[in-house]
């Protein structure tokens, strides 16, 4: 089996609110969200990185793809 690096990615995500009608002069700022994801790096492309949070001898469980333009920091974690 190919060895996939365990990484921590700090990234910026969008935030939205469409639950109620709002008046423009009464709304607060809607700042982007800083996220942290940990997983095995299964796809390392220039445009994006894909992580799997769990691997088990071949199969993986779950995936998340993060656009590279959203990545603030990528740190390789020790085994």
- Give the tens place of pLDDT for each residue, 11-37: 999 999 888 898 999 888 899 999 999
Which segments within the chain are labelled E, that is strand?
6-13, 33-44, 48-52, 54-55, 60-61, 64-67, 71-76
Q: What is the pTM (predicted TM-score) of this model?
A: 0.85
Residue 28 structural domain: 6-16+24-76
Over residues 65-74, mean pLDDT? 98
Task: Report the domain count for the chain.
Answer: 1
Residue 67 lies in a domain: yes
Asked whether the predicted pLDDT for residue 1 surpasses 70, the reply is no
- Chain mean position to CA 52: 11
Total residue count of the chain as it appears in this document: 79
Give Cα separations from 36 to 19, 21, 66 (angstroms): 26, 31, 11
Residue 1 lies in a domain: no
């Amino acid at each position: 089996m190919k060895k996939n690096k365990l990484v921590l990615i700090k990234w910026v995500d969008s935030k939205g609110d469409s639950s109620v009608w709002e008046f423009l002069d009464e709304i607060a700022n809607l700042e982007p969200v800083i996220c942290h994801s940990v997983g095995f790096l299964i796809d390392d492309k220039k445009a994006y990185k894909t992580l799997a949070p769990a691997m088990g001898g071949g199969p993986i469980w779950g995936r998340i793809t993060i656009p590279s333009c959203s990545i603030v920091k990528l740190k390789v974690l020790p085994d």
